[in-house]
Amino acid sequence: MKLHTVLDLRGCIPTFVHVSGGLASDLTLLDCIAFEPGSFYVMDRGYVDFARLYAIHNAQAFFVIRAKANLRYRCVASQPVDRNTGLRCDQRIMLSGLFTDEKYPSALRRVKFYDSVNDKLLVFLTNNFDLTAANVAALYRCRWHIELFFRWIKQHLRIKAFFGTSENAVKTQIWIAIAVYVLVAIVKKRLDLQASLHTMLQILSLALFDKQPLHQLLKQTLPTIETSAPINQLNLFS
């Protein structure tokens, strides 16, 4: 099975979840989403399908996606960039590949960015021409939150082993795990807590049957331990 998710970066909370069979293409997710006008959808290059991307464009929404290496296009215009920021080019392009120009007949924006931390050259495509090229690259960097979301789900919600093998049993356990994640994230936001979701989940799992208000339970802190050394104790590293 596969879990497809649209994550709201403003709160790192899934706004759309779709469970499909393991052999289903990731692209099928784009057929299930009702795109909101004015919203930005940030995706990896596994979702490059120009007919589906054009549907996002027609819905008056925006996308930022990594381009594949074999992209065929012609440059219509180019804007100067500050190479000290990692940017390499900011172009207005038209697709020229076989059938791609028919699937996406409008202009696209191509932004090339050098990631010095990971020593990678990244190429982004977007249908938004108002953002700065640096902001386009910064938007894609936020996509890492979806990786963190799935990592958190796998590590802390214990869905590697299923209590049943039927489709209904598997989906039920997946939905319970997602509901737990969302509830913990909402509590963290509303109570303005600094603790991680993992720490909050551990506290809640140990106090499931306590009749204590959540804000008191989660805001309790362990007593601080006096760390000052005794006067007569020698300092080994002085």
Per residue in 128-175, pLDDT (tens digit) is 999 999 999 999 988 888 888 788 777 766 655 667 778 888 788 888
Domain ranges of the chain: 2-146, 157-212
Q: What is the pLDDT of residue 194?
A: 80
Angle in degrees, 0-180, between the axes of helices 144-156 and 197-206, rounded to the nearest 10: 20
CA atoms of 40 and 139, how far apart (whole Å): 9
Q: What percent of the chain has pLDDT over 90?
A: 40
CA atoms of 68 and 65, how far apart (whole Å): 9
Q: What is the pLDDT of residue 172?
A: 84
Check pLDDT > 50 for residue 236: no
CB 43 within 8 A of CB 59: no
| 86: region left, alpha or beta (phi > 0 left; psi from -120 to 50 alpha) | left
Q: What is the pLDDT of residue 171?
A: 82
User: For residue 18, what are the β-bridge partners?
Assistant: 4
CA atoms of 48 and 67, how far apart (whole Å): 7
Angle in degrees, 0-180, between the axes of helices 144-156 and 167-190, rounded to the nearest 10: 110
How many angstroms separate the first and last alpha carbons of the chain? 59
**Predicted structure pTM score:** 0.75
Under the banding of pLDDT at 50, 70 and 90, the label for residue 76 is very high
Per residue in 160-170, pLDDT (tens digit) is 566 777 888 87
Per residue in 213-234, pLDDT (tens digit) is 877 777 764 343 344 444 455 5
Per residue in 84-99, pLDDT (tens digit) is 999 999 999 999 988 8
CA atoms of 82 and 75, how far apart (whole Å): 19
What distances in angstroms separate CA 123 from CA 57, 120, 205, one per listed residue?
19, 10, 44
User: For residue 13, what are the β-bridge partners?
Assistant: 8
